Chains A and B, each alone.
Chain A
Amino acid sequence: MKYVSEFRDPTLARHLAQKLADAVQPGRPYRFMEFCGGHTHALARYGVLDLLPPQVQMIHGPGCPVCVLPIGRIDMAIELASRPGVILASYGDTLRVPASKQLSLIRARAQGADVRIVYAVDDALALARAHPDREVVFLAIGFETTTPPTAVALQTALREDLRNFSVLCNHVLTPAAMHAILDQSEHVPLDGLVGPAHVSTIIGTQPYEVFAARYSLPVVIAGFEPLDMMQAILMLVQQVNQGRAEVENEFTRAVSHQGNTRAQALVHEVFELREDFAWRGLDRIPHSALRLRPAYARFDAELRFGLHDRSVPDHPQCLCGPILRGQRQPVDCKLFGTVCTPDNPMGACMVSSEGACAAHYAYGRHRAPTASTEASTPTSGPPTSAATTEPHIQ
Chain B
Amino acid sequence: MCLALPARVISLDATGQSGQVDLGGVRKAVSFALLDEVVVGDHVIVHVGYALSRLDPDEAAQTLALFADLAAHHAQHVQGSSEGGA
Contacts and interface: CB of A to CB of B under 8 A. Distances in A.
Asked whether A and B interact, the reply is yes
B53 A260 contact: yes
A96 interface: no
Given A36-B2, A252-B62, A120 B53 contact: no
B85 A15 contact: no
B59 A142 contact: no
Given A152-B31, A152-B34, A198 B49 contact: no
Contacts of A254: 6, 45, 53-56, 59
Interface residues of A, number: 57
Contacts of B36: 262
B4 to A, nearest CB: 5
B52 A15 contact: no
B35 A260 contact: yes
Contacts of B85: 393
A199 B31 contact: no
Interface string B23-47: 1100000010111100000010101
A12 B45 contact: no
Interface residues of B, number: 39
Contacts of B31: 122, 149, 152
A388 interface: no
Interface in A7-45: 7, 9, 11-12, 15-16, 18-19, 21-22, 36-38
Contacts of A3: 6, 43, 55, 60
A214 B27 CA distance: 45
A152 B50 contact: yes
A204 B4 CA distance: 16
A88 interface: no
A21 B62 contact: no
Contacts of A252: 56, 59, 62-63
Given A4-B6, A12-B71, A146 B47 contact: yes
Nearest to B62: A252
Interface in A188-214: 196-199, 201-202
Contacts of B2: 36-38, 145, 196-199, 224
Contacts of A146: 1, 47-48
Interface string A241-272: 00000000010111100001011001000000
B20 to A, nearest CB: 14
Contact of B86 (A6, A22, A38, A145): A22
Interface in A81-136: 91, 119-123
Interface of A: 1-4, 6-7, 9, 11-12, 15-16, 18-19, 21-22, 36-38, 63-65, 91, 119-123, 142-143, 145-146, 148-149, 152, 196-199, 201-202, 223-224, 227-228, 231, 250, 252-255, 260, 262-263, 266, 354, 390, 393
Q: Which 7 pairs of residues, A with B, have the shortest CB-CB distance?
A: A38-B2, A120-B49, A201-B53, A3-B6, A253-B60, A253-B59, A15-B71
